[in-house]
Amino acid sequence: MFGFLSVSGQKRFDLAVKGASLDLDGKGLAGFASEFDFTREEVRKGWWKYARQFGSPLDMRTYYKVTIPATATDGNVDLLVFTQTIEEGGKTQFMIGLKEEKYKAQAEELLRVFKKDFYIQFYLGELKLRELEAEKYADQYESALLEGEKFAALTLLNTTKQEMELLKEEIRKVDM
């Protein structure tokens, strides 16, 4: 259980979103922000990967501009979404905004959906690592000759399985 707490304990999902202003090349843009327990670069990479599923992200150095085709939004015109990541005190503020005020609710929902997906992907990655550890400990148990070795392998296997259950619980919390 210690391994899970040390790796994932600092990565707690919180769906809180607040109003924010993005500063894009000296121009302010109203939008929304949410805090991530990850580095700026991890969030930027996660957004890039996520945004490519439905749009065309363009790195503008200090922010991303994502063009969402009209076919993806059931609209008549392409939609431009602007995002910015700022690292503050070991956490990252991820901000999203649109020039079109009438799509403000959709921008907020996009931020929430991205954050859920980001954390679920993180927890799934951690879960996969624990599964590999569990397989290793199971193999150690099967090949152990001495009772002490079997006991040690079984203890590690049980601890890893508990960590896996905690990760599954975190995924369920995020997915609610």
The whole-number pLDDT of residue 23 equals 82
At a CB cut-off of 8 Å and minimum separation 6, what does 171 contact? 120, 123, 124, 127
In the chain, % of residues over pLDDT 90: 62
Residues 87 and 170 in one domain: no
For residues 123 and 116, the answer to whether their CB atoms sit within 8 Å is no
Query: What is the per-residue pLDDT across 94-134, written as a single tens digit (0 to 9) for each?
Result: 999 988 888 888 899 999 999 999 999 999 999 999 999 99
Q: Give the domain CATH number at 10.
A: 3.30.310.220
pTM of the model: 0.85
The whole-number pLDDT of residue 171 equals 93
| Res. 20: pLDDT tops 80 | yes
Residues 132 and 112 in one domain: no
The whole-number pLDDT of residue 15 equals 87
Nearest to 106 by CA among 61, 63, 72, 60: 72
Our count of domains for the chain comes to 2
At a CB cut-off of 8 Å and minimum separation 6, what does 118 contact? 36, 38, 43, 46, 47, 50
